[in-house]
Every structure is written in structure tokens, then in C-alpha cells.
């Protein structure tokens, strides 16, 4: 398989993952009768699952490719760009769990803020009760998809000669959209309480994921910036952040 074919296959695979991951909550609302509360808990647990699997990814990439000369050369370039600031690659999985685990505490804080309205029995009790029913299948689905994704990456050597430092912030975009869903979803439960609003929120989440997936597309850039130099500069700055 040529590099062009490999790149194209990877892009198709990533797009399929976005569609499938977002289809689970949408299918649950439309056809399984999920409540808004169940959906928010599902997104919260997806955050945790994604964090754990990415820590595993960082460990594997460093274990498999970390000692290769090409990997070390790329890592040295990243260190120069960061002016020598950073930490050993072997420490990144643990730091990953701590750093992104902070986002989970933010979500718990938000959910706890709506506990009296949405979770009168308490967030942990409500989560435990939900986990014995439909939420268990949600967790299994997300875990299965993450497992398949990880092993496909291993089989394809997708991150060959890639420093784990370059992958550290990879899940940030997805976690950002999950944060949006949980926070706005909490407000919806508090002030509206209608599942129709949650459906709109899920569709917005899908749109955000797709935007970041196609952010390098020149046609998207032209459509959004309309040829305005300042808008093009802002767009390029956004790409660097993501």
C-alpha cells in the first residue's frame, strides 16, 4: 500500500470513527428512549474511556517506537520548539491520566451542580443505578470501539516513528465537545428538560467534530474566510491550536 493510499485509508477510518461514536447517543435518543440524563452520563463515561485508552496509546507508541533514531530526531525537534520544556516520554501516560482527569472533575462538578434537579439521589448513586441498565451497554459500546480503534492503529503502524509527545493533546478536541455536551446538557435539563433540545445538542456536537476533521480542507477555509486576509490568518491560528 502506497503512502497516499495509506493516508486516504486512515482519513476514511477516522471519519467512520467520528460517525460511529456520535451515532451511539443519537440512536439511543431516537430509538431506545434514552433520557437526557442518561445521555449526559454516557458522554461523561466516554470521556473517561477515551482518556484511559489514550494513555495506553502513549505508552505503546513510546514502547514500540521511542528508541528509534527517527523518533528521537522528531522528539528533539519538538523539544526545540518547546524551548526544552517538557517531560520524559515514559512519564506522559501517567501525566495524561492526571491532566485530562481534571476535565472529568470539571464534568463531575457540573453534574453535581444539577444534582438536585436532575439527579435527586446524588450523581454517584444515579450513575451506579444507570450502569446496571442501559448505561452498561453504552460503556461496553464505547470500550469496544476504542479497543478496535487501538488495535487497528497497531496493525497499521499508524504512529510509526511518532514521538508520544506529538500525540499528547490528540484527544483534546473530542473531550472539548464532550465538555460542551455535559455543561450545556446540564443547563438544558435544569431549564428545559426536553429531549428534543438534547438531540439538537448532539447534532451540534457532530458538527463540531466534523469541522475539526475537515479543518485542513482548503474548500472549507475558502468558504469560511471568503478570501479575507484577516479571516484567513485567524483560521490558520485556529488550526495551530487544534
| Cell 437526557 belongs to residue | 36
Residue at 185 is within a domain? yes
Q: Compute the distance between CA of residue 119 and CA of residue 57 in angstroms, rounded to an integer.
A: 34
Does any domain span residue 206? yes
Distance of CA 181 to the CA centre of its chain: 12
Q: φ and ψ at 87, to 5 degrees? A: -145, 165
The parent domain of residue 145 ranges over: 3-217
Number of domains into which the chain is organized? 1
> Does the residue 226 lie in any domain?
no
User: Residue 240 domain-assigned?
Assistant: no
Asked, for residue 225, whether it belongs to a domain, the answer is: no
189, three cell numbers: 435539563
Residue at 146 is within a domain = yes
For residue 66, what pLDDT is reported? 87
- 39: which 3 cell numbers? 445521555
Cβ 138 vs Cβ 42: under 8 Å: yes
Euclidean distance between CA atoms 62 and 85, whole angstroms: 18
CA distance 182 to 185: 5
- pLDDT at residue number 241: 47
Q: Cell 464505547 appears where?
A: 142
- Distance, in Å, from the CA atom of 129 to the CA atom of 111, rounded to the nearest integer, reads 16
Q: Which helix (H) or strand (E) holds 13?
A: helix 3-31
Do the domain assignments include residue 126? yes
CA 2, distance to chain mean position in Å, is: 29
pLDDT of residue 56: 94
Which strand (E) or helix (H) includes residue 189? helix 172-191
pTM over 0.85? The answer is no
Q: Given 3-state DSSP classes, what are the helix, strand and coil percentages for the chain, each rounded to the nearest 5?
A: 80, 0, 20
Alpha helices in 66-133 (DSSP H): 69-81, 92-113, 115-118, 123-131
Q: Are 62 and 164 in contact (CB under 8 A)?
A: yes
Q: Does 231 map to a domain?
A: no
Which parts of the chain register pLDDT below 70? 1-7, 9-10, 36, 84-86, 110-120, 122-123, 131, 178-179, 181-198, 201, 216-224, 231-242
- pLDDT score, position 57: 92
Amino acid at each position: 500500500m502506497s503512502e497516499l493510499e495509506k493516508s486516504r485509508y486512515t482519513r476514511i477510518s477516522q471519519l467512520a470513527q467520528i460517525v460511529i461514536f456520535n451515532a451511539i447517543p443519537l440512536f439511543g435518543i431516537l430509538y431506545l428512549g434514552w433520557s437526557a440524563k442518561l445521555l449526559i452520563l454516557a458522554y461523561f463515561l466516554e470521556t473517561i474511556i477515551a482518556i484511559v485508552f489514550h494513555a495506553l496509546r502513549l505508552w505503546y507508541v513510546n514502547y514500540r517506537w521511542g528508541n528509534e533514531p527517527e523518533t528521537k530526531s522528531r522528539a528533539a525537534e519538538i523539544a526545540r520548539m518547546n524551548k526544552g520544556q517538557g517531560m520524559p516520554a515514559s512519564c506522559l501516560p501517567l501525566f495524561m491520566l492526571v491532566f485530562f482527569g481534571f476535565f472529568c472533575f470539571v464534568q463531575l462538578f457540573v453534574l453535581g451542580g444539577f444534582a438536585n434537579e436532575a439527579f435527586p439521589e446524588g450523581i454517584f448513586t444515579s450513575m451506579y443505578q444507570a450502569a446496571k441498565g442501559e448505561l452498561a451497554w453504552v460503556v461496553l459500546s464505547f470500550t469496544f470501539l476504542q479497543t478496535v480503534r487501538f488495535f487497528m492503529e497497531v496493525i497499521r503502524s499508524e504512529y510509526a516513528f511518532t514521538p508520544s509527545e506529538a500525540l499528547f493533546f490528540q484527544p483534546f478536541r473530542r473531550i472539548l465537545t464532550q465538555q460542551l455536551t455535559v455543561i450545556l446538557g446540564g443547563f438544558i435539563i435544569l431549564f428545559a428538560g426536553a429531549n428534543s433540545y438534547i438531540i439538537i445538542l448532539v447534532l451540534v456536537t457532530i458538527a463540531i467534530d466534523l469541522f475539526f476533521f475537515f479543518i485542513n480542507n482548503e474548500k472549507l477555509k475558502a468558504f469560511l474566510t471568503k478570501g479575507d486576509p484577516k479571516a484567513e490568518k485567524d483560521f490558520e491560528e485556529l488550526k495551530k491550536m487544534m
